Structure 1
Amino acid sequence: MSITDTSGQDVLLAPKASRKKTYLIITGLLLASATLLLFPTLNQWSSAQASVPMQRLRLADVVQGDFVRDLSVQAQVVAAVSPRLYSPAQGTISFSVDAGAQVEKGQELASIDSPELNNELKQEESSLQKQKMELDRKRIQAKIQHLENQKSVDMANVSLVAAEREKRRADKAYASATISQIDFEKAQDELENARLVHQHAVQDAKLDEESLAFEIRSQQLQVNRQQLLVADLQRKVDELTLRSPVKGIVGNLAVQDKNQVTRHQAILSVVDLSQFELEVSIPESYADDLAIGMDAQVNFNGETHPATLVTLSPEIENNQVTGRVRFAASSPKGLRQNQRLTTRILMENKTNVLMVQRGQFLESGNGTIAYVVRDGMAKRQRIETGARSLSSVEILAGLQAGDTIIVSGTEQFDGAEWLQITN
């Protein structure tokens, strides 16, 4: 018996095609596509001159909107009206009120005893009385002289009338040949002499009247001058009683009671608490940008109160400029003297402008360099900035709305053109 093999059971299979080549082709195509897609990024990565982690950067978007240029300063509450009183003369002071007392306008606050000023007033009053008496004497003399002049004019007038009568008698006698030619001419001479005497008497009287009137006017001017001097001294004596110029509270007393004070020495102040203002100290760098009349906002008790910059000092002290801010309406209730409040001064308002958050990059690049962030890379780009506020800066050129830039300090990049931002 023979045993046959299993060849009769075998089935011929067709050889399978190899897929290795296909895989290699697909892989190559994918690598080529990825290379083409990533070529710009790879190119940028290869050209990056520095690498910086994201956590060390602060980014901000460029936006378009309304730009408000403002300045925030600390302000001190001061009374809008706080007059200080000074000593008008040297003397001994006596106070009628104490510090912190409520006073009314015109109320007596203190008095100064000045014997020197009082004595000077009495001397000038005596001089005034003397000059008035001298004026009255001149007026009496003028009346006497007026009577003397009138007497002379009247006597000359009588003599003129008599001479005219004698002249008429001589004319008749000469016509009838009862007097000589010499007597007739003598009567004419006497008439002419009487006319001259009368004329001179009238003129002398007129000149005397003018002279006396001039002396009276001169004396009257001296009296008027002396009256002004006495009135001024009287005013100074009246000012020795210090009175409150406003209704308010007496401030601290600068001298002690019954002490000697000198002229123009500070005595006390009166604080009017009905109206407050804010005294602000503004950095010197903003001095040229400020102007009287600018709007301001004052924060007090969680509320914002409108105000206006009303004064601005022309001098710079300690690198600061002093100004005054006045509330637009009445002062808020609850304010206290020397209280400190945050005040915002609105220097400029622009609409529909490009702007970005303010940051250290302005100082690092003098406002001309910014790093624009795209796809994990940052490119150095020249820009042009305009007005600056506390929180934003205006962009004039070099950026567009939607751009993202690095607003933190850029001096660490050493002027690199490209930066790689890592996570």
Structure 2
Amino acid sequence: MDQPISDKTINRRRRLQLVAAVGLLASLSAAAWGVNRAVRPSMAASDIVVAEVRRGNIANTVSAAGVVIPVHEELVTSPIQTRVAKVHAKLGQSVKAGELLLELDSQALRLAADSFREQLAQQENRILGMTLEMEQKRKQLVSNIELLALDLQSARVKWERYQTLRKSGAVSGEDMLTAELNVKRREIELRQQRELIDDNRRATSSSIEGARLQKAILQKQMAQQQQLLDQTQVRAPFAGMLSSLMAEEGASVAMGQLVAKVSELSNYRVEASVSDFHANILNPGQLVRVEQGGHLLPGKVHTILPEIQNGSIKLIVHLDQPSHPMLRNKMRVDVNIVTEEKSGTLVSDNGPAFNGKGRQNVFVLRDGVAHRTVLEIGNGDGKAVEIVSGAKAGERLIVSGMARHKDQDSVRITK
């Protein structure tokens, strides 16, 4: 005979059924969670770099490779074809203004200088000889003039006496004419002697002037020779670093060949090379940011060289701090030339996720999930980029490389 089931048994069965249902639901949830994890791609948070979109200033820059060079450096060349006689300095050392760096063989110059000295002495002797000769001729002509003056005086006296005697008929007309002609002859001879003094003085003075001109030419040549001779003692033109030196004694040197170069140690500029693709947007006066080893040095474009070599343009950058202690000769630096600036725009830190300007896919991180989003990217300065559209201030962008997940719409980010 059937007996009714007690309430206690019914309650116990219900509790067992409820526990079984909860267990089944939990199992199904765990299975769904496991399938979701297995199917949906994921990345560890430590493998990504996240940047927050913010309001800020952005500059569009053109990147260039730069080399630090001295503002002031001077090349010392050989004045003649010769050889290195003796070296007194070492490459790379600091030198003082006027310090002797090396000596060039100057034997040929010394012989030439001696020859010029001998020619100068000959010209001086020639000038002295012509001056003495002119003085002697002058004295001789003066003596002749004095004698002719006496002869003229005597002839005039005789002519005057004949004129008195002629009145009394004591002198013939012929004697009278002869006396008169003698006076005129003496006057002509006297005038000729006086003119001869002037002619001799002018002729000798012209010869002396020519000799003096030749002497002046020889003196200039001698001065040039002495200057060349002084240049064989190669000295530092100013205090700085010896950045180039022909240090091999006995080496042959051609005229005009570089034998030493001194560079200023405390005043630098930057020579940058940039692709000629950017030639139309580069102008003198543009702001420049020079970077090396975490240091940022501002400056300006000073000169753009007109020549294009191997598809590159060279430009000279003057730094605001040309004496910065970080700078070293021939140091390689990164140069960013500012071509445009904006303020109060949306910006984000730069990273591999960005590839120039234009529309591109970037992952935006929301609630632990990276969602692929199309952003419009504008200007960039190497460190930050402009977000024209597609994101809002405060949103977080994954700026590291996401090439593995470029085809996924979303990626789960795990801790």
Q: Secondary structure at the match of 1:91?
A: strand
CA distance in 1, matches of 2:280, 2:138: 76
Do the aligned partners of residues 403 and 338 (structure 1) sit closer, same or farther apart at CA in structure 2, a change above 3 Å counting? closer
Q: Secondary structure at the match of 2:265?
A: strand
Displacement of 1:359? 5.0
- Judged with a 3 Å threshold, the aligned counterparts in structure 2 of structure 1 residues 307 and 154 are, in CA distance, closer, same or farther, namely farther
2:85 match:
93
- Range that drifts further, 103-112 or 176-185: 176-185
1:77 and 2:77 aligned: no
Greater Cα shift, 221-230 or 118-127: 118-127
Which residue pairs with 2:110 in the alignment? 118
Rate the CA distance shift 1:252–1:67 in 2: closer, same or farther, 3 A: closer
In the alignment, is the contact (CA less than 8 A) between 1:296 and 1:306 conserved in 2? yes
Q: Does 1:272 align with 2:264?
A: yes
Distance 1:216 1:253 in 2: 49
Greater shift, 223-232 or 115-124, is seen at 115-124
Deviation at residue 218 of structure 1 after TM alignment: 0.5
Alpha-carbon deviation of 1:160?
2.2
Q: Which residue of structure 2 lines up, in the alignment, with residue 185 of structure 1?
A: 177
Describe the shift of the 1:302–1:167 C-alpha distance in structure 2 as closer, same or farther (beyond 3 A). same
- Following TM superposition, by how much is the alpha carbon of 1:70 offset from its aligned partner in structure 2, in angstroms? 4.2
Following superposition of structure 1 onto structure 2, how do residues 49-88 of structure 1 map, counting pairs within 5 Å? 70-88=61-79
C-alpha deviation, 1:104, in angstroms: 0.4
- 1:301/1:91 CA distance change after superposition, 3 Å: closer
Q: Which residue of 1 aligns with 2:101?
A: 109
The 3-state SS of whatever aligns with 1:316 is strand
Return the letter of the residue paired with 1:74: A
Q: Matches of 2:356 and 2:339 in 1, distance apart?
A: 20
- Give 2:325's aligned residue: 333
1:220 aligns with 2:220: no
Aligned to 1:237, the other structure's residue is in SS state helix
Deviation, structure 1 residue 95 = 0.7
The alpha-carbon deviation at position 120 of structure 1 amounts to 2.0
Query: Relative to structure 2, which stretch is displaced further, 88-97 or 221-230?
Result: 88-97
From 230, 236, 255, the counterpart of 1:238: 230
Deviation, structure 1 residue 78: 1.3
Q: Indicate whether 1:344 and 2:348 are aligned.
A: no
Q: Distance in 2 between matches of 1:93 and 1:334?
A: 38
Q: Structure 1 CA distance, aligned partners of 2:326 and 2:252? A: 39
Q: Is the 8 A contact 2:269 2:322 kept in 1?
A: no
Superimposed CA distance per residue, residues 118-149 of structure 1 (whole angstroms, 9 cap, x where no aligned partner): 22222222222222222221111111122222
SS of 1:314's partner is strand
Q: Is the 8 A contact 1:91 1:115 kept in 2?
A: no
Deviations 1:341-361 (A, max 9, x none): 2323344679999xxx99565
| 2:160 pairs with one of 151, 164, 168 | 168
Which stretch shows the higher mean deviation, 164-173 or 207-216?
A: 164-173
- Deviates further, 93-102 or 168-177: 168-177
Tell me, in whole angstroms, the C-alpha distance in 1 between the residues paired with 2:181 and 2:344.
Answer: 113
State the Cα distance separating 1:320 from its structure 2 match: 1.0
Whole-Å separation in 2 of the counterparts to 1:131 and 1:171: 58
Q: CA RMSD in A?
A: 3.9
Decide which of 275, 281, 284 is 2:276's aligned counterpart. 284
Q: Deviations over 1:296-340 (max 9, x none)?
A: 333456554332323332211111122211123542222122222
Q: Please point out which of 142, 151, 157 is paired with 1:150.
A: 142
**Contact 1:358 1:390 survives alignment (8 Å):** no
What corresponds to 1:204 in structure 2? 196
- The answer (yes or no) to whether the contact 1:92–1:114 under 8 Å persists in 2 is no
Q: CA deviation at 1:83?
A: 2.1
Moved more, 254-263 or 116-125: 254-263
TM-score using structure 2 length: 0.65
Of the structure 1 ranges 79-88 and 189-198, higher mean CA displacement relative to structure 2 is found in 79-88
**Residue-by-residue CA offset, 1:179-225 (whole Å, 9 max, x unaligned):** 22222222221111111111111112111110000000001111111
Query: Residues 291, 216 of structure 1: CA spacing in aligned structure 2 closer, same or farther, 3 A cutoff?
Result: farther
For the Cα contact (< 8 Å) 1:93–1:261, is it kept in 2?
no
Q: Which stretch shifts more, 129-138 or 236-245?
A: 129-138
1:321 aligned to 2:313? yes
Structure 2 distance, partners of 1:179, 1:351, is 130
Cα pair 2:87 2:247 within 8 Å, conserved:
no
Conserved in 2, the CA contact under 8 Å of 1:153 and 1:205?
A: no
**Residue type of the alignment partner of 1:227:** Q
Whether the 8 Å CA contact 2:64–2:335 is kept in 1: the answer is yes
Take 1:195 and 1:69, find their aligned partners in 2: how far apart are those partners? 103
**Distance in 2 (alpha carbons) for counterparts of 1:176 and 1:349:** 128
User: Structure 1 pair 403/244, CA: closer, same or farther in 2 (3 Å)?
Assistant: closer
Structure 2 counterpart of 1:319, which letter? G
Q: 1:70 to 1:156 in 2, by over 3 A?
A: farther
Checking the alignment, whether the CA contact within 8 Å between 2:130 and 2:208 is kept in structure 1 is yes
Identity of aligned residues (%): 19
* Contact persistence 2:58–2:379 (CA under 8 A): no
TM-score (norm 1): 0.64
2:401 counterpart residue number: none
Contact 2:84 / 2:102 at 8 angstroms: preserved in 1?
no
Aligned equivalents of 1:118, 1:181: Cα separation in 2: 80
